[in-house]
A and B are shown apart, each in its own frame.
Chain A
Amino acid sequence: MPHVLITGAAGGIGSAIAEAFAARGATLTLADRDLTALESTAARCDVPTAVRTADLADPEAPAALVDRAWSALGPVDILVNAAGLYPSLDMADVDTASWDRLFAVNLRAPVLTTAAFARRAMAEHRPGAVVNISSGSAQRSRPGGGPYASSKAALEMATRAAALELGGHGIRVNAVSPGFVLVDSDCNPVSAEYARAIGVNPLGRPGAPQDIARAVCWIAGPEASWITGEVLRVDGGSSTGAHHLPRIWQTDDTRAIAVGTTTEEHTR
C-alpha cells in the first residue's frame, strides 16, 4: 500500500483527499499548520497515519517535511500538495509581504516538496507520483483573487516542467484543478450569493471535496500510469464555457425547425 504525504491535510479538500486515500488502505503522513485540526482529520483515517505540523511559508519546511515523512514511515510514493492560501487581495493593493507569503505557500512550497521528493525517489530508484492542487482561477481570475490566480497559474507550469524532467525517472507530476467546491471553511467564508453564482455549472451542483479527492486518487494511482504533466479540471464542466449567459437566439422558429426534423425522422 502506498505511503501518501499530503500537505494542507487539515483543510476541506486536503482532509477529503486524506480520507479518500485512507479508504483505499494507504499509509498517510498528514501535514498542516494546525495540530488540532490535523488530529481530527487523522481520527477519520483508520490506517497507519502520522501527523506533522509545518508552516510551509518557511523555506526550510518543505524539504524537512519530506525527509521526515520518508525516514519515519518509509519511502513516500505519492505527494499531494494541497496546502494553499486564498487571501482576498486586489491587484491594486498588493504589497511585498502579502505577495511573497502567498507565493511562498502556493508556489514555492509545492515546488520544493516536489524537488525534495524527487531527489529521494531518484536516489532510491523509486517511481512516484505528485499531485498539485491548482484552481480554475489559474486560467480565469476573479475580482480580489488576482494574486491567488497568478500563483496557481505558475504552479500549473511548474507541474508541467517537473513532469518533463522527472518522467524519465518514473516520477509523474500532475495537477488537479478544482472548480468551486463547498468546503465550509472558516478561513474562506463564502456568501450564499457568491456560492449560488459560482456553483452554476453544466452538471448542476456545486462540487464537494470528495469529488476532488477521487480525482486526486485516480490521477496518482496506477490507472493513470501514462499521464503526466496534465492539469485535470474537476469542475462540473464550469470551464466549458459561459454556461450562465442567456441564449442569443430565443425565437420559436429555431425550436420549430429542430422539433420538425425530429418528428419527420420518427415518422419514417
Chain B
Amino acid sequence: MNDQSPERAAYTVVGAGAIGGTLAHALSRRGHPVTVIDTDRAHVDAIRAHGLVVARGDKRTSVPVRAATPEEYDAGPLDRVLLAVKAQATRSAVEWIAPRLAPDGYVVSVQNGFNEDLIASLVGPERTVAAFVNIFADVVEPGVVQDGGAGALVIGEWGAPVSDRVRDLVADLQSWGPARADDNVEGHLWAKAGFGAMLAATALTDAPMADLIDRHRPSMAGLAEEIFAVAERRGVTLEAFDAFDPEPFRHGAVPAARDTAFDRLTAWLRTQTKDRSGIWRDLAVRHRPVEVTTHYADVITQAAGEGLPTIRLRAVLDGLRELECAPHTMSEARLDALDRLVQQPDHPQLPARSQAAAVQRWLDDHREEMVTDLAAYTAQGSSSDDLDALTDCLAWLRDWLDRRLGTPEDEEILPRADAGDILVRRYPVRGATTADSRAVTLVGHYDTVWPTGTLDTWPFRREHDRITGPGVFDMKAGLVQAVWALRALDELGLPRPACTLVLNGDEETGSHASHEAVVEAAAGSRLAMVFEAAADGSIKTARKGVGLFTLTVTGTEAHAGLDPTAGASAVDELAQQILHVNRLRDHEAGTSVNVGVIEGGTRSNVTAGRARAHLDIRVASDAERQRITRALAGLRPADTRTRLEVTGDWNRPVFERSAQVAEFADLATACAELLGFGLSEASVGGASDGNFLAAAGIPVLDGIGAVGSGAHARSENTSVSGMVERAALAATVLVALAGR
C-alpha cells in the first residue's frame, strides 16, 4: 500500500467509527495513505463518495481515503493496523487481520477496554501495540464523524518499554493531537476503567454526566474503588489523564482530596461538547447493545480470581443490560439504588451470643416478677375517659418505675386538661461504645379502652402461660416488657444508649391532646420503639393513615306527597354521593373507604332536608392521602339544588416503611434470630402514635410490645413466655444500638 505516497507510512484503520474515523482523518490529512475497513456498508459507500468527513462545529473537512468492507478488501498485506472496533468485535476483527498482517507489521489497539491480551494471542505479542485512548467523537451520519474536542492518546508496547515503532507511530499521530509514548499504558487503561465505570453509571438515566457524577458521588467513588483495588492487586501503577486523577479514588483516600477531585472532574466534564456518554447514546438513541459490558468482563473475572468484590460494577452492568431491552426504564432511581448499595453496611454489628443469652436467661429467671407487676398494673384501671383513674394510674406508674429503674436523670409531667397527663422520663446512656449519642425513645400509652368498673367483673387472670384482663394486650404487658428490658440491662451491666420513656394517656381516643408533645419529646431520637402489641407476633413496619370525615348534604324540605317536585332530597343526594365516594377505594394501593354510619331525614312523607354520612378512610401512602383529600374537596352535588359539606380531617398520618424503618426492622429480626425465634413484619390498617413519630421523620419500630390477641375485646389476652421473649428482644436491640 506504499504506492500512493512513498514518503509517508501507510495505515489501515479497521473500524472507522468515532475513534478510527478521527485518527484516519488526521493521518490522511497529513498525507499518509490510509485505508479504512468497516463492516457498515452505508458508511463505506459514503466515504467513497464524499471522502471521510470530520465535523467540528459548523465546519466540515473531507479527506480522501480508501474504504472497503472486509469482504471487498483485496489489496496486499497489512503493515500498520489501527484497530478501532468495539471491544466485542475484537476477536472477529483480529481473525480477519491475522492472515493479512505482514510478518513485521503490528496491530495497535486504539479501543476501549482491555483487548491487548486477546490481540496478542491471535497475532503474537511482538506484533501487538497497546494504546490508551480517550476521544469523545461520534459518528453522526454515514461518512461523518463529529469531533469531540481534545482527548488523550497514549501508546506503548504491551509489557515492554517504548520502541522505535511506537515513537514513529506517535510522531505520525501528532497530526491528530497530543499523542504520546509511554511505558505504562496499562496504568492508563486501568485509570480509564475506573473513570469509564462512572460514565457507564451515568447511562442508567437521562441527565448530563457531570450532574449525575456530582449528585451520586458515593456510587461513583465506590465504583472506582472497586476497580482500582483490582489494579492494585495486579501491581499496576495508575496514571492520571485529562482532568481525572485516580489517586483520590483509591480505597482509603482522604475525603477532602476526593471532593476536590470530584469538583475538578465535574467542572472539566461541563466544558465538554458532549454531555451524555457514548453508552447512553447507544442505549437511548441507537438502541444497540453497549460494549461496556464486554470491557468489564475481564475486570470482573480478574477481581473474582483475586477474591475482590465487584458488587457495584456488576450492579451497573446489570442495569445497563436491562436498559438494552427496555431503554425507557432509564431512571435516576437506579443511581439512588446504587448509592444505597454503596452505603449499606455489609453486616450490622450485632450483640454476641453471650450477651443475648444472658439477657434471655435473666429475664426468664424473673418471669414471675414480671407477671406480678403486670397484675398490679392491670389492677389500676385506666380508662381513656376517666381522668381520676388516669391520674391514680400515673401516680402508681411513677412509683413503680422508681422501684424498678431507680430515679431517672430527668422527669417531666406534661399536664393535659381533658386527657391523661404525659410522663417523660430520661435515663442516661450506660457503657455504650457507639459514637451516636442520640437517645432511643420508648413510647407507650397507659390508657385502655375499658371503662372504669370493668375490673369488677373481669379482673386480671393468669392460667399457666395465658394472661387475660382489660388492657393486658393493649398495651400494659408492653410497658412491663419495656421496663424489664431496661432493668435486665442495668442488672447485667450490659450497655445501652440513652433512653427516653414517653407515656401518654389518650392514645386510645386518638392522641389528640398528646401527639404533638410525644413527637416533641422524641425529637432528635435515633429510633422510637413503640411498645404497642404485636400483629400476630409481627412487628409493624407500616401503618395506614386514618381519616375520619363527615359528609353533610343539605337539601330543601317539602311535603313529599302534596308537592313532590318542590323539595330537593338530601337523602337521595347522599345515596348518590355514597356510591361516588366508594369508588375512591383502591385496594391495590391500600386505600379503604368505609361509610360506616348514615343518618338523614325526619319523616317518611318529608323530602329530606338534611343527611349525613360518617366515613373512615385509610391510606397506605401519602400520595393516596393527597388523592383522597383532593377527591373529597372536589365532591359536587348531582342535584344542584343540594349542598355538600365535608368536615373532619386526617387523624393520623401515614407511617410508611422507609429505608430507615427497614434498617431497624432488619436489626430487630437479627436480634430475634440470636434469641432463637423468628420475627416477621406486618403492614397494618390500624394506627398508633408510631404514625405521628414516623411523619416527624423519626425511625419507628412499632408493635414491639405484647404478643397475644383480642385488643379492645373481651377475649384480650397475652402470654407469659411472650413477655419474656419480647422483653429480651427489646433489650437485645438496645444492646445492639449501644455498639453501632
Contact = CB atoms under 8 A, between A and B. Distances in A.
Contacts of A167: 304-305
B153 interface: no
Interface string A225-239: 110000000000000
B646 to A, nearest CB: 44
Interface in B203-257: none
Contact of A126 (B309, B672, B676): B309
Contacts of B309: 126-127, 170
Contacts of B300: 168, 170
B569 interface: no
A73 B318 contact: no
Contacts of B670: 48, 50, 72-74
Interface size class on chain B is 20 to 34
B669 interface: yes
A124 to B, nearest CB: 7
Given A3-B347, A47-B353, A126-B309, A72 B673 contact: yes
A152 interface: no
B676 A46 contact: no
Contacts of A71: 669
A48 B353 contact: yes
Q: Interface residues of B: mostly helix, strand, loop or mixed?
A: helix
Contacts, number: 86
Interface in A39-64: 42-43, 45-51
Contacts of B305: 167, 225-226
Interface string B345-359: 011101111101100
Contacts of B301: 168
Contacts of A125: 310-312, 314-315, 318
A170 B304 contact: yes
Given A126-B309, A127-B309, A50 B315 contact: no
Interface string A160-179: 00000001111010000000
A74 B348 contact: yes
A50 B351 CA distance: 11
B534 interface: no
Contacts of A226: 305-307
A118 B588 CA distance: 33
A135 interface: no
Contacts of B352: 46-49
A27 B356 CA distance: 13
Contacts of A246: none
Contacts of B308: 127, 225
A1 interface: yes
Contact of B674 (A48, A74, A124, A224): A48
A110 interface: no
Residue from B305, B306, B351, B356 whose CB has the most chain A CB atoms within 10 Å: B305
Interface string A99-143: 000000000000000000000000011110000000000000000
A127 B304 contact: yes
B311 A49 contact: no
A29 B347 CA distance: 13
A75 B666 CA distance: 12
Contact of B306 (A49, A74, A225): A225
B669 to A, nearest CB: 6
B347 A27 contact: yes
A175 B9 CA distance: 58
Contact of A1 (B307, B315, B347): B347
Interface size class on chain A is 20 to 34
B303 interface: yes
Interface in B19-78: none
Contacts of B159: none
Nearest to A225: B307
Contacts of B318: 125
Contacts of A241: none
A105 B670 CA distance: 28
A167 B301 CA distance: 8
A42 B675 CA distance: 11
Q: Interface residues of A: mostly helix, strand, loop or mixed?
A: mixed
A4 to B, nearest CB: 11
Given A42-B353, A168-B300, A169-B304, A49 B674 contact: yes
Contacts of A204: none
A172 B305 CA distance: 9
A254 B306 CA distance: 49
A2 B346 CA distance: 9
A74 B666 contact: yes
A170 B676 CA distance: 32
Interface string B331-375: 000000000000000111011111011000000000000000000
Given A170-B303, A226-B305, A48 B351 contact: yes
Residue from A43, A49, A51 whose CB has the most chain B CB atoms within 10 Å: A49
A222 interface: yes
B678 interface: yes
A73 B353 CA distance: 13
B302 to A, nearest CB: 10
A42 B670 CA distance: 16
Given A72-B669, A127-B304, A168-B304, A49 B678 contact: no
Given A125-B314, A170-B309, A75 B674 contact: no
A19 to B, nearest CB: 12
A47 B674 CA distance: 10
Contacts of A3: 347
Contacts of B314: 125
A255 to B, nearest CB: 49
Interface in B670-686: 670, 672-674, 676, 678
B350 A124 contact: no
B358 to A, nearest CB: 11
Contacts of A49: 352-353, 674
Nearest to A49: B353
A177 to B, nearest CB: 22
Interface in B383-408: none
A169 B318 CA distance: 13
Contacts of B307: 127, 170, 172, 222, 224-226
Interface in B265-305: 300-301, 303-305
A45 B353 contact: yes
Nearest to B311: A125
Contacts of B353: 42-43, 45-49
A32 B482 CA distance: 33
A187 B609 CA distance: 86
Given A42-B353, A48-B352, A75-B346, A124 B306 contact: no
A3 B345 CA distance: 13
Contact of B347 (A42, A74, A169): A74
A2 B309 CA distance: 13
Contacts of B303: 170
B346 A27 contact: no
B357 A43 contact: yes
A3 B349 CA distance: 11
A27 B315 contact: no
Contacts of B672: 72
Interface string A21-33: 0000001010000
B345 to A, nearest CB: 9
Contacts of A170: 300, 303-304, 307, 309-310
A75 B309 CA distance: 14
A124 B340 CA distance: 13
7 contacts: A48-B350, A73-B350, A74-B347, A124-B311, A127-B304, A127-B310, A170-B309
Interface of A: 1-3, 27, 29, 42-43, 45-51, 68, 71-75, 124-127, 167-170, 172, 222, 224-226
Given A74-B347, A125-B312, A126-B311, 5 more contacts: A46-B354, A73-B673, A74-B348, A127-B304, A170-B307
Interface of B: 300-301, 303-312, 314-315, 318, 346-348, 350-354, 356-357, 666, 669-670, 672-674, 676, 678
**The 8 A-B residue pairs with the shortest CB-CB distance in the complex, in nearest-first order:** A225-B307, A48-B350, A72-B673, A125-B314, A49-B353, A170-B304, A50-B673, A125-B311
